[in-house]
Structure 1
Amino acid sequence: MKSYSLIDGVGITHTFDKVPQRIVSLVPSQTELLVDLGLESKIVGITKFCIHPQHLKSAKCIVGGTKNVNYDKIKALEPDIIICNKEENTLEIVENLRSVCPVWVTDILTVQDNLKMIDDLGKLLDCQVKAEYWISRLSFALSDFKQFTENKSVQKAAYFIWKNPYMVAGSENFINELLKLNHFENVFENQPRYPEIELQQIIKKTDLDLIFLSSEPYPFKEKDALEMMPLVTQAKIRLVDGEMFSWYGSRLLKALVYFKELHLKL
C-alpha cells in the first residue's frame, strides 16, 4: 500500500508506510474505543486502569498507569503505534516514548473533538467502516439527547473530582462540556482545568442547585455526601458515575442513557 500521513490531536504529522498492527493504548477510554472499533486483537499493551471490557486486563500486557509507565515493558512489546492523550498522559511520557515508535496524541475538549478522534482513528488504523458506524450512532444519540433536554431549565452545578484538597472541574475539559450538554451550568467554569477550592466557596454560592461527587478519580462515597450536607443545605448532593462524565470515545453512547436516568432522579 501507499504511505499515508495524518495529523494527530496536538498537531503532529505522522507518516506511515503500512497500517500499524501492534497497538499500545495508555488511555482507558480510548482502549475501550479501540475494542469497539474491532481492534482488540491488535492491542498488545494497556494500563492498569483499562478496565473496560473487563476481560482485557487478563488478556493484555499491563505497562503501568496513565502517569507512570514501564518503558522497558513497552519497548519489549515492539509496538507500531502508542496511543496517548494530552490530559491523561504526561508530556514526559509522550516524549520518551517517541523513541520507541510513533506516538499518536489525542486532545478531547468537546463532543465534536470526540467524533473527530473516532474518525481519525478509523483512518489511522484502517477501520473506517466501524468508525463511521460509531460516529453515526453517537450523532443520532446526541440529537435525541438534545431534544430530551431542550425544555429543561438550566441548573447551577459544581462537579467535585477530588478530596483533601477539594478539587472541582473548571473549564477546558470534557467534563465541563458534558455538564453543559446536560443544561448544568458549571459554577467554576470561570476557572481553568481542575482548581482547588475551599468548601467556603461552595457555601457562599447560595444559588447553587446541584453538587455532583464523582466516583473517579477520587472515589466519593455516601459518607462524603453526608459530611458535606450540613454545609450546603441549599443544594442537592448526588453521587455520580465519573466514567460517564469524563470518558470519551464510544463510552459517550452509554453516558447519554445514564444522563437521561440522572435527570429523572433529580
Structure 2
Amino acid sequence: MQPRAVDAAGVAHDYAGADARIVSLVPSLTETLFALGLERQIVGRTGFCVHPRNKVRAVPKVGGTKAVKLDALRALRPTHLIVNIDENERDTVEQLRAFVPHIVVTHPQTPRDNLALYALLGAIFGREDEAQRLSTALDACLREAAAHTFAAQNVLYLIWREPWMSVARDTYIAAMLRLVNWHTLPDVHGGSVGAARYPTVDFDDAPWLARVDRVLLSSEPYRFTAAHRDALAGDPRLRGKRIELIDGEMTSWYGVRAIHGIAYLLRRTAAA
C-alpha cells in the first residue's frame, strides 16, 4: 500500500487511482495538473484557469475561484477537488464537501513550498516521476537565484486600485520577490489568511513611501496597463521612483509556474 499524502489542512489522502475525476478551483494548480500529465482526469476548472491555453479550453468551467457554480460542479461527478486557502472561500469549500469525496487543500507560502506541493499531487494521483522532474527543475532555479548577489530594493507591489492595495511580507508574492533581494513595503505581516495579507495603501499617509525604490504594477488581479504606469509617473508623491509593469502570473502563481517565475525575475534583475 502506498503511503498517504497529507495536505495543507492536515488531511491524509490515499492514492486516487486511474479513475479519479479532478476539478481544480486554483488556476496555477490547474496548470500544474496538466504539467503532471493528468489531462485525461481533469474534468472541471474555473474561468480563470487559462493555462495551458491549447488544452484547458476542452475542460468545462464551473464559475470562478470564489463564485463557484455548485450545480455545474456537482454535475461533473468529481472524486477530487483541488482548492487553496488564499484563493477559495471556506464556506464554499464546506458546501462542496457534501458531494465531493476528496478535497485537497493547498497553501504554499514560499517558492520552496512548491517542492512539497509537487510531491503531494504526485503521490495522490500517481505522478511521482513527473513530480520529481518538476522538483529537480525548481531546485535548480532556487540554487541559481541563491548563487547571485542582487542589489537590495524596496518595492511597492500594487495589486489593485481604488483603493490601492499591496501585499504583506508573509505572502507568496513577497517571498518570490525576496529571491532577487526585492523587499515589499509596507513592512507588515498579514497572517495566514484574511484581508490583512493585502493591505490598502494611502499615498498621503504612508511615511514609508519615501523608502520605496520601485513601484511594481501587477497584471493581476487588477490588470494594470501602460496608461496606469504613465499616470503614476506623473504623481508628485512618487517622484524619483521607478514605476514598472510586472507579470502577476510569474510572481503569484505557484506550482509549475514558479519555475518560470524565478527565471523571469532573474531576467528582470539582469536587465535592470
Common fold: TM-score over 0.5? yes
- Per the alignment, in what secondary structure is the counterpart of residue 111 of structure 1? coil
Of 250, 253, 260, 2:256 maps to 250
Q: How does 1:101-112 map to 2 (within 5 A)?
A: 101=100, 102-112=102-112
Q: Does 1:214 align with 2:218?
A: yes
Which residue pairs with 1:132 in the alignment? 132
Q: Identity rate of aligned residues, in percent?
A: 33
Report the CA distance between 1:227 and its aligned residue: 1.8
Number of equivalences: 263
Q: How does 1:5-44 map to 2 (within 5 A)?
A: 5-15=4-14, 18=17, 21-44=20-43
| Further displaced range: 223-232 or 25-34 | 223-232
Which residue pairs with 1:236 in the alignment? 242
- The TM-score, its normalising length taken from structure 2, stands at 0.91
1:135 and 1:20 map into 2 onto residues whose CA distance is: 25
Q: Does 1:199 align with 2:197?
A: no
Report the CA distance between 1:200 and its aligned residue: 2.0
1:5 and 1:113 map into 2 onto residues whose CA distance is: 19
Report the CA distance between 1:6 and its aligned residue: 2.7
- Per the alignment, in what secondary structure is the counterpart of residue 51 of structure 1? coil
1:42 and 1:17 map into 2 onto residues whose CA distance is: 11
- Per the alignment, in what secondary structure is the counterpart of residue 234 of structure 1? coil
Report the CA distance between 1:58 and its aligned residue: 2.4
Report the CA distance between 1:55 and its aligned residue: 2.5
| Further displaced range: 215-224 or 252-261 | 252-261
| Contact map agreement 2:15 2:125 (CA 8 A) in 1 | no
| Further displaced range: 171-180 or 203-212 | 203-212
Q: How does 1:1-266 map to 2 (within 5 A)?
A: 2=1, 5-15=4-14, 18=17, 21-101=20-100, 102-148=102-148, 151-192=149-190, 193-201=197-205, 205-229=209-233, 230=235, 231-266=237-272
RMSD: 1.7
- Per the alignment, in what secondary structure is the counterpart of residue 55 of structure 1? helix
The aligned amino acid for 2:99 is: V
- Per the alignment, in what secondary structure is the counterpart of residue 255 of structure 2? coil
| Contact map agreement 1:110 1:177 (CA 8 A) in 2 | yes
- Per the alignment, in what secondary structure is the counterpart of residue 156 of structure 1? strand
| Contact map agreement 1:106 1:117 (CA 8 A) in 2 | yes
| Contact map agreement 1:48 1:57 (CA 8 A) in 2 | no
Task: For structure 1, list consecutive stretches of 5 or more residues without a partner in the other structure.
Answer: none
